[in-house]
Structure 1
Amino acid sequence: MAKPANPNAGHRKRLRERFRRAGADGVQDYELLELILFNAIPQRDVKPLAKALIETFGSFADVLSAPPERVAEVRAEVPGKPDLRAGERALDEFRIVRAAALQLAQANVLNRHVLSSWKELVSYCRSTVSYEGIEQFRILFLNTKNMLIADEKQQTGTVNHTPVYPREVVKRALALDAAAIILVHNHPSGDPTPSRADIDVTRRIVEAAKGVDIRVHDHLIIGRGSEVSFAQLGLL
């Protein structure tokens, strides 16, 4: 028996064609989500779900970065039909897109001279931690030529605190034979203003690193749409 025709085929074709012509600039956030959801939910109109996800989380990036269990809770009411939600196939598609975006961002900075690619580095840090719902402390390790050789998550904390141990930071830098490091963490509140604890732990890491001839180039605090550099603030 032949499969029934997809009643949404015309809309899907038009949206794909518009995306091919104009790229991301030619579609709205919810339409980008639709494009991702097409494969995961083949026989339903996914526009109501895409709009519900944007309304719940705020933006395309927020949807992709939200915890999967929260995304799965969002339901779109469709008159005369069962409510629509993101199942495992849709969640997998979101994970794949986010992972690909992070890989592309990392490719722009890995094994490159960090201090001359600062804009790309900050963009990479934003994509990595700015949408996280809890604090995450990362370390960028540089070689003697200030090229990025590794980016690692050191600690994960709560919504407003991450425990960081200077001894562990220095120990890992020595293991990677790093000559310098850049500290990075996010403020889930969106405000990147350094706290007293941020300033204190940075000072202790700088002192510990100095003892083994490792330089701390900067500490970046990433908020929503903005960031703070300790070096620019004169805090290093």
Structure 2
Amino acid sequence: MRILVPVKRVVDANVRVRVSASGVIDTGGLKMSLNPFDECAVEKALQLREAGVATRVTVLTCGHATSQDVLRTALAMGADDAVLIDTGAASATLDSLAVARLLRAYMAAGDFGLVLCGKQAIDSDIGGVAAMLAALLDWPQALNASALSARSGHWQVTCGDDGGTSTWELDGPGVISADLRLAEPRRVTLPSIVKAKQKPLVMIDGASLGVDLTPRTTIVELRDPPVREAGIKVANTAALLDALAAHHPFDNLGANA
């Protein structure tokens, strides 16, 4: 069984970005890295292969040729092969639906038993690709997975959100999106980086897949978050309770302050 792991190249999680005067984030000169959620997905896919559940792990990204660096990182982690779908000028406006359509078009020529991806990219935080791809493939899905195991032809997935935790069983091929708790990514060593250069990395012209990449979503406005206001000091617990009550924190919860 083959596992497909879609990944994305994003500004490194440790880099602080700013919105320019023109209303865009200039990534020039900034360190770019493999999206952290996708990194966890790659690690889990490798663990499944090492456990004998899967035979091959393929990583894929959509964008410019510069995205090869994150594919090489995934290859250095242990992925077997990589695919770059070059979308050329359309890369700047790729949205979740366009990426999902590209993935489905690519998967038509392969035999994959699982798509395992990060639950969201840290640059846009939309998290729509997994659900959209599952709908296009008509496969079952499990989002925000914190645990995953294979059981007699089924995928047992533990998913969590603000409302609690649930465990699902997916029958047959499925699409699963990874939370950061799913796996701890392994450290990439220098020898593995050297070996990764010998692994296959295929480049595909996005136009050859015949997918409409017209964006269905647009960014209306992009701005820095408001500056945080200075806090206040209180003398005792009673003053703290009075200060909290003044903001009426429980008004929308059906309780009295």
TM-score (norm 2): 0.24
Q: Which has the higher contact order (CA 8 A, sep 6+)?
A: 2
Determine which structure has the larger helix proportion and give its number.
Answer: 1
TM-score (norm 1): 0.26
